């Protein structure tokens, strides 16, 4: 890596002035690509959602698939960061949280695509998936610290995005109650969706781009 990025185990320490190894550069490149893919998929999901309401068509299904893609790409990114940047209970917990998020987002998409439930309950399930991704971001940034791969520029924004996504946990009562009609939704369901999807569709792409730029300069 660079003089600004310290790998605690596999990457050579910049404090000793060592040049970045091919392995560390490869790891940073993989993380950068995963971050760009994650941000691009989140933007695709947002565009498809807008097009669904404007012109209808198949954009709803594409949006659902993109939502599931957000979860799995976040899991890939979580695993790459954990393997290259840090280890320990927090890092392991971050990967587990990302895995739970991927499952939650995929399950929500499955419910609406197969018409097992209506769109609203499926959306609440997906919102819980985003809440788990929020846990991943908060744990990953805490484990990485200010000098790791997620440090410096992306750190503060990452914590903001993490807390917004984590707000999706307020969808849990609606999921447990099986609320599948927006007319029956309570305030906490509205707040959960507003917080989590703002984080996912608007700020997550920005964070992903900042991570990629941070690693490119490294």
Nearest to 195 by CA among 159, 177, 171, 179: 171
Q: By C-alpha distance, which of 32, 77, 79 is closest to 217? A: 32
| Distance set, CA 167 to CA 12, 22, 133 (Å) | 37, 39, 11
Integer Cα distance of 201 and 194 in angstroms: 11
In tens digits, what is the pLDDT along the chain, a chain of 218 residues? 444 433 434 443 333 334 445 546 777 788 899 999 999 999 999 999 999 999 988 999 999 999 999 999 999 999 998 887 666 788 889 999 999 999 999 999 999 999 999 999 999 999 999 999 999 999 988 877 655 666 656 778 989 999 999 999 999 999 999 999 999 999 999 999 999 999 999 999 999 999 888 887 65
Q: What is d(CA 171, CA 135) in angstroms, rounded to the nearest whole number?
A: 15
Dump the DSSP string for 2-36. -TT---SSSSPPGGGTPPPPHHHHHHHHHHHHHHH
Full-model pTM: 0.84
**pLDDT value at residue 16:** 35
* Cβ 175 vs Cβ 128: under 8 Å: yes
Q: What is the pLDDT of residue 181?
A: 92
pLDDT score, position 1? 42
Cβ neighbour number for residue 84 with a 10 Å cutoff: 23
């Amino acid at each position: 890596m660079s003089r600004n990025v310290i790998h605690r185990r596999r990457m050579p320490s910049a404090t000793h002035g060592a040049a970045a190894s091919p392995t560390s550069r490869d790891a940073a490149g993989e993380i950068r690509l995963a971050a760009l893919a994650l941000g691009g998929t989140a933007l695709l999901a947002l565009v498809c959602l807008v097009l669904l309401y404007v012109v209808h068509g198949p954009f709803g299904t594409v949006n659902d698939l993109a939502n599931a893609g957000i979860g799995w790409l976040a899991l890939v990114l979580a695993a790459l960061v954990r393997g290259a940047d840090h280890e320990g209970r927090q890092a392991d917990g971050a990967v587990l949280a990302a895995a739970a998020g991927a499952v939650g987002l995929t399950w929500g998409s499955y419910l609406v695509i197969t018409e097992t439930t209506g769109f609203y309950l499926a959306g609440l399930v997906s919102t819980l998936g985003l809440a788990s991704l929020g846990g991943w971001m908060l744990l990953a940034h805490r484990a990485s610290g200010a000098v790791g791969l997620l440090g410096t520029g992306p750190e503060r924004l990452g914590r903001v995005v993490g807390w917004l996504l984590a707000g999706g946990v307020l969808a849990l009562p609606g999921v447990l109650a099986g609320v599948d009609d927006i007319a029956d939704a309570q305030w906490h369901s509205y707040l959960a969706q507003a917080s989590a999807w703002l984080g996912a569709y608007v700020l997550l792409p920005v964070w992903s781009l900042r991570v990629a730029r941070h690693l490119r300069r490294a």
